[in-house]
Amino acid sequence: MTHLFPTYQRFDIEIKEASGTVVTDSQGNTYLDFISGIAVCNLGHRHPAVQKSIEEQLQKVWHLSNLFPLSLQEEVASQLVKHSSGDAVFFCNSGAEANEAAIKMARKYTNKQKIITFKQSFHGRTFATMSATGQEKIQAGFGPLLPEFIYLPYNDMKALQEAMDDSVAAIMVEVIQGEGGVVPAEAAFLQEIQNLCKQSDTLFIVDEVQTGIGRTGKAFAYQHHNLSPDIITAAKGLGSGLPVGAMIGKAKLIDTFGPGSHGTTFGGNPISLASAKATLAIIFDDVFLQDVEKKGSYFIHKLEKVVEGYAFVTAIRGNGLMIGMECGEQQALIIEKLREKGLLTLPAGPTVVRLLPPLTVTYEEIDDALSIMKEVLEEVALPV
Ligand SMILES: *Cc1c(COP(=O)(O)O)cnc(C)c1O
């Protein structure tokens, strides 16, 4: 009998050990992990440099509270600022908290209330971030929601232009919708968001909780475009599995969160930050990021070949190592069969199989995954 709320639909395997791209279940079966804790373990499981950094910090101090200065926070913040359009960082524990901070920042800084987000977006499960999330199934039963959120169709330029005016505090957008189905924003759409924000003293917020920290082959996915967002939120990949989130903002925002205005007990704690420091030291490196881009193109290109001839696969989308395979009603069956054959993948929306291998995945592991996928597509295509 379980003493847990049945909050999650869980796989029926229990992972007992993990190293790099490979995880081992309680029966001793091994799997290629192309979930990576949902884009969290970007360096694979238990990367030695990250483990060492955490272990060293464990010997020094675990927790103090943000009443004490912490040079680790300064070091990680300077890494994030150096590799983004931001100038200052607020640390928290999760993606939802980073977005929550961004929403509070937007209202306080602009003294306006309205926030534009997009249909099929995902921004988190707290009241503000659930209200920002443009999906009814996530909001159902929890109303009334926080007021003044407007959900526009994604990639719809005309709807955006019509909805925009000086009363909008912020536009919050995912550069690639992750939970919504691995759907990239069009370049011109993102550019128009930035232009409209500039004209109306509106903050341009990119939610990079899933796309950030090297996932797409850039430090942040917006850097594939010529953009300079006011706020960038990050979390998932930042701590390689330890809980840490960050809201990165431009200099003009610095005075908005003065002492007493916003805060957190655990956010930016020494153990998580030791993990983040070692993680960014590896990922925020041009050669490493170029390699992610190359592996991503290789994977997408080969996958396009593999799915040829299977009519139920209607699209391959993504960037870098964030890849979605649109396969309609077959989604759940494909994910189950992939798992049986030793490849862990996850759904995105109702019809997409999502692939999020660690950024350290090898070409051999990509090839192994591709051959498992080929076998499964063949089986699914067979008449029953
Ligand atoms: C996962 C995710 C979040 C929420 O992060 P949590 O750490 O689960 O609170 C927010 N935005 C995006 C784009 C995400 O993928």
**Strand runs labelled E in the chain:** 15-19, 22-25, 30-33, 88-92, 114-118, 149-152, 168-173, 176-177, 183-184, 203-207, 231-234, 245-249, 315-319, 322-326, 343-344, 346-348, 352-355
**What is the mean pLDDT of the segment spanning 141-160?**
98
Ligand 1 atom 10 nearest Cα: 123
Domain boundary among 227, 259, 283: 283
- The Cα–Cα gap between 194 and 11 comes to 40
Structural domains in the chain (count): 2
Same domain, 108 and 179: yes
Q: How far apart are CA 56 and CA 275, in angstroms?
A: 10
Last residue of a domain, one of 243, 258, 283: 283
> Does one domain contain both 278 and 202?
yes
Here the tokens at position 350 are 């109702």
Average pLDDT rounded to a whole number, residues 328-340: 97
Please say which residue of 259, 283, 307 terminates a domain.
283
Q: Which CATH number characterizes residue 208's domain?
A: 3.40.640.10
Q: What is the pLDDT of residues 354-363, one digit of tens each?
A: 999 999 999 9
Give the pair of three-digit tokens for residue 358.
């660690």
Q: Which atom of ligand 1 is nearest to the CA of 236?
A: 7
210 and 356, same structural domain?
no
Instruction: Specify whether 72 is located in the same domain as 89.
Output: yes
Find out whether 208 is annotated in a ligand binding site.
yes
Closest protein CA for atom 5 of ligand 1: 95
What would the mean pLDDT of 170-177 be, rounded to a whole number? Answer: 98
Q: Considering the chain, what is the average pLDDT of its residues?
A: 97
Q: Which residues pair with 30 in a beta bridge?
A: 24
Q: Whose CA is nearest to atom 8 of ligand 1?
A: 95
Which residue among 7, 210, 232 is best mutated to probe the pocket of ligand 1, counting the most ligand atoms within 8 A of its Cβ? 210
Which of 35, 97, 103, 123 to probe ligand 1 with, by most ligand atoms within 8 A of CB?
123
Confidence at residue 384, expressed as pLDDT on a 0 to 100 scale: 62
Pocket test for ligand 1, best of 209, 213, 247 (most atoms within 8 A of CB): 209
Percent above pLDDT 90 for the chain: 99
The reply to whether 33 and 70 lie within a common domain is: no
Is residue 383's pLDDT more than 80? no
What percent of the chain clears pLDDT 70, i.e. is strictly above it? 100
Which atom of ligand 1 sits closest to the CA of residue 129? 10
Q: How far is the CA of 380 from the centre of ligand 1 (A)?
A: 31
Nearest Cα neighbor of 117 from 100, 132, 98, 129 is 132
On whether 128 is known to bind a ligand per the annotation, the reply is no
Check: CB of residue 313 under 8 Å from CB of residue 377: yes
pLDDT score, position 30: 98
User: Do 114 and 189 belong together in one domain?
Assistant: yes
Judge whether 288 and 70 are in contact, CB under 8 Å: no
Average pLDDT over residues 117-145: 98
Query: Is 1 within the bounds of a domain?
Result: no
Tokens of 25: 């279940």
State whether 169 and 60 are in the same domain. yes
pLDDT for the residue 288: 98
Is 265 assigned to a binding site?
yes
CATH number, position 361: 3.90.1150.10
Predicted confidence at residue 231, as pLDDT, reads 99
Q: What DSSP string runs through 30-46?
A: EEEESSHHHHT-TT-BT
Domain check: are 28 and 63 in the same one? no
Average pLDDT over residues 64-73: 97
Instruction: Judge whether residue 1 has pLDDT over 90.
Output: no
Mean pLDDT across 254-259: 96
CB-based pocket (< 6 A), ligand 1: 94-96, 99, 122-124, 174, 178-179, 207, 209-210, 235-236
330-343 average pLDDT score: 97
Would the annotation count 117 as a binding residue? Answer: no
Across the range 317-336, mean pLDDT stands at 97
Indicate whether 158 and 270 sit together in one domain. Answer: yes
Distance CA 300, CA 181 (A): 16
Over residues 234-256, the mean pLDDT reads 98
Of ligand 1's atoms, which has the minimum distance to the CA of residue 207?
13
Is 264 annotated in some ligand binding site?
Answer: yes
Domain co-membership, 324 together with 205: no
Measure the CA–CA gap between 28 and 305, rounded to whole angstroms: 33
| CA 340 to ligand 1 center in whole angstroms | 28
Please report the pLDDT score of residue 382 as a whole number: 81
Residues spanned by the domain of 99: 48-283
